[in-house]
Structure 1
Amino acid sequence: MSFFSGRFLHRWVRSWAVLPALWAATLAVPAWADDAFARADCPELAKTIYDAHSAAPRGSCRRDPNSPWQPVCKAIDNDKPKKWTDNLRILDTTLRVSFWEDLRQAGEGTPYCKALLRDQQAYEKKLLACGDHGPCVLQVMGDRLRQIASIEKQYTGRPFGPQDLRAFLGADGKLRVSGGESLEQRALRGLAIHPLPRTFLPGGLNIIWGFEPHNAQTQTLVFSAMDGRVIALALVDDIYNRGAEQRRLPQEGRIRLFLRDPKALPTLLAPLQGWAAADALGMNVDCSGAQAEACRLWTRYPLPVTAYRLPCRGALERCSLALPPVTGAIPSPELFRQ
């Protein structure tokens, strides 16, 4: 059977960026006795018990020869699949990444978080019951991967595609934004990587972003609803981190935000601030460690944002909107990973 298509393949590709951490995973205490689990605090679980995506704690086998997971680890390590799509090592890694990323974005006490945790204990018991029987491990892991993908789709909505961007832009995609380039051309140029990173925020807001290959300073950011409808689009220039000690943006740094409903603007500025903070820090940050001060700095940093209302007729400057103050909780930069 094949588990690697669509959403699964997306996660498999992304998993290689964190592979060294996966093999260092450990399960220090039972998940089910942890206070964060009782509170359904998925982001906290992602940082502690489920650190490094321990859907099945292979790392504990390397640390503890008496671990009850030894038979499962043996099945994974000794797997010799007839097809690469049935490779237990790949499936194990993909499942860890998938579960960990969903934990990070599911929030505390949300239906999304509770759905992720609801069957995790039963899954681990089934996996332990497989022992070192590879086909059983393959089936149980595959079932869990499909289950997590279904939960993610239910609570984060339809995946974003270029057709959603074009539907949002319509005729305004022909607007000239800089250097003779149209709004649509510039937006797509900043979304030219695959897969596109995405973060779901409680409340139903998806944030999708990308960059131009070999040019991380040319980025595009999309805010979308669960049904895939684009709410706003941002063209981002010269915001991405230029070094660990960066404490201010270069003069050419700018964010041009396009939206059709000006009433949505106040609700977008706090998420934009959180994403831009992560971007200025280079993404994949840990705000509880050495980067804590930098996270505080960038979540308060005055961003060079100009907002525009669509449709726009004539010069772009005539369609600019006054920016309200940033209100509401600013998402942690930790949430944005690529």
Structure 2
Amino acid sequence: MPSTTGIADCRKPKSPAEAAICHAKGFNELIPLDMWVAGLYKRALKNTTPGSAEQDKIIQGQRGYLQQRDACGSDTACLMKIMRTRQQQLIALNKQLKIELPDADIALFIGEHTYFQSAEEGRKDITPESSLADRILGAFEQYPPAHVKLTDGSTLFWGFQQGNGSVRSLAITDAKGRVQLVGAVDDLPDISNAILPGHDTRDEIDPAKHRLRSGRIALFVRDPAALRRYLPAIRGWAYADLLGFNVHCDKNAQWQQRCTEVQRYALPITAYGLMHCKSKANGKTLVNRCPVALPNVPGTAPLGLFRQ
């Protein structure tokens, strides 16, 4: 995120305005308002393409707001007026930028009679009678769904099943909102502490082989070119997931170590083709029998992109 968030640092206020926000007498509405404005600003950035003219306009608007806010000095009435105005501006902006999960398009992308069986992998929770569309959409139970704009204007959505965070789903739409890829993610562990020295890793990882002890990321595409285009973003998302999201790789030495170490682990990614899959049972297309080779694509999207 650009360093224009502007949350007042109450430990070391950088200006009279920040000091006034932190230490206003009586019932202090300024601190929560300051945090609210910052949160709305972050949401607006998240809903726009990095580096785009649209995002740059939002950043410049925030810089202008911070200049106005700081010009108030210790005048709390002035601060309240400026901050509330910015709050309302950002609320209106986020309504315009609001991105909805294209659930109907996802269902069409997958197909009505498409099923995914994982019994071959030793799992019994998904059977030939389980609809892939139900599995994917069933793990988007939070509203609004977590999502991030990618540098090419595409949007990566992710969600999880209510009451079972180990069952997650992915979906990616291109800059025109067309579904390009969906994914079923199961049992990825949180290894943010396990990869640090001195932690018991028996349940989560095999550090000697840089191997996860559980987890599956099954991707489904109609055009295999989508894998080449989006694998770096999926890797970045998956590594952020393994660290519990809200990753701060540059925060301190420990976070730097986490971000470096986690990317040494092989991700359990497999891919399957939805188009021209002829494997059927009782009239149902079993897409797990139509694997697609993963392309050799380098690169990983920044882990800090993926925040919840």
For residue 321 of structure 1, what is the amino acid of its counterpart?
A: V
Question: Pick from 80, 104, 109: which aligns with 1:168?
Answer: 109
Aligned equivalent of 1:221: 170
Aligned equivalent of 2:59: 117
Matched ranges for 1:202-241 at <5 A: 202-241=151-190
Q: Which moved more, 1:163-172 or 1:178-187?
A: 163-172
Name the CA shift for 1:308/1:230 in 2 (closer, same or farther; >3 Å): same
| 1:132 paired to 2:76 | yes
| 1:58 paired to 2:8 | yes
Matched ranges for 1:241-320 at <5 A: 241-242=190-191, 244-245=193-194, 246=205, 247=207, 248-288=210-250, 289=252, 290-311=254-275, 312-313=277-278, 314=280, 315-320=286-291
Counterpart contact for 2:152–2:175, Cα < 8 Å? no
Partners of 1:167 and 1:239 lie apart in 2 by 27
Name the CA shift for 1:104/1:169 in 2 (closer, same or farther; >3 Å): closer
Aligned equivalent of 2:300: 330
Name the CA shift for 1:227/1:74 in 2 (closer, same or farther; >3 Å): farther
For residue 76 of structure 2, what is the amino acid of its counterpart?
A: D
For residue 59 of structure 1, what is the amino acid of its counterpart?
A: D
Partners of 2:293 and 2:13 lie apart in 1 by 59
Q: 1:90 deviation in Å? A: 4.8
TM-score when normalising by structure 1: 0.69
Partners of 1:282 and 1:65 lie apart in 2 by 31
| 1:199 paired to 2:148 | yes
- 5+ residue gaps, structure 2, are 118-125, 195-204, 281-285
Counterpart contact for 1:238–1:250, Cα < 8 Å? no
- Rg larger in structure: 2
- Whichever structure has more helix as a proportion of its residues is 1
For residue 137 of structure 2, what is the amino acid of its counterpart?
A: L
Name the CA shift for 1:271/1:64 in 2 (closer, same or farther; >3 Å): closer
Q: Across the two proteins, how many residue pairs are aligned to each other?
A: 274
Counterpart contact for 1:205–1:223, Cα < 8 Å? yes
Superposed CA deviations along residues 237-280 of structure 1, whole A, max 9, x for unmatched, are: 12231561145554542111011111222111111111111111
Matched ranges for 1:180-199 at <5 A: 180-199=129-148
Partners of 1:63 and 1:297 lie apart in 2 by 33
- 5+ residue gaps, structure 1, are 1-42, 80-86
Q: 1:226 deviation in Å? A: 3.5
